[in-house]
Amino acid sequence: MRLLNRHYRGVDRATDVLSFPQYRRAELAAALKRRRAVRKGRAAPSTGALVLGDVVINVHRAERQAAERGLSVDEEVKRLLIHGVLHLLGHDHEQGGAAAKQMWRLSAMLDEKIDGQ
């Protein structure tokens, strides 16, 4: 994970999760808009799935963080997966301010929604 983080982000340390988006922000917005139009019956369905990208989770780090937070490893991996997917959707907490608050709010909401199932 350290090698991936150094190679792709220029940060020479291990991290818990990395996201590799398939789309640029504008392309993703257009693809999601098309999906909404299909759902509402305003566009013909396309073939294939919308691949957002890849999420890589450092399981060893997740195990340590789970113990530190008093969570199960499954809960911590779920938390990291939500975090990674939000990055794939264009959210970025590293900008700080309102963008970070929105990402943390969405993360908490999704975590709660998944727990409720």
- In whole angstroms, what is the distance from residue 14 CA to residue 2 CA? 4
What pLDDT was estimated at residue 11? 95
Q: Is the pLDDT of residue 46 over 80?
A: no
Q: In whole numbers, what is the pLDDT of the chain averaged over residues? A: 89
Contact (CB, 8 A) for 87 and 8: no
Contact (CB, 8 A) for 17 and 55: yes
pTM: 0.80
Alpha-carbon dihedral of residues 87, 91, 97, 102, nearest 10 degrees?
-110
Q: How many residues does the chain have?
A: 117
CB neighbours of residue 11 within 10 Å: 13
For 2-41, what is each residue's pLDDT tens digit?
A: 999 999 999 999 999 999 998 887 787 787 788 788 778 8
User: Does the domain spanning 2-115 belong to CATH 3.40.50.1370?
Assistant: no
- In whole angstroms, what is the distance from residue 75 CA to residue 89 CA? 21
More confident residue, 57 or 23: 57
Domain coordinates in residue numbering, the chain: 2-115
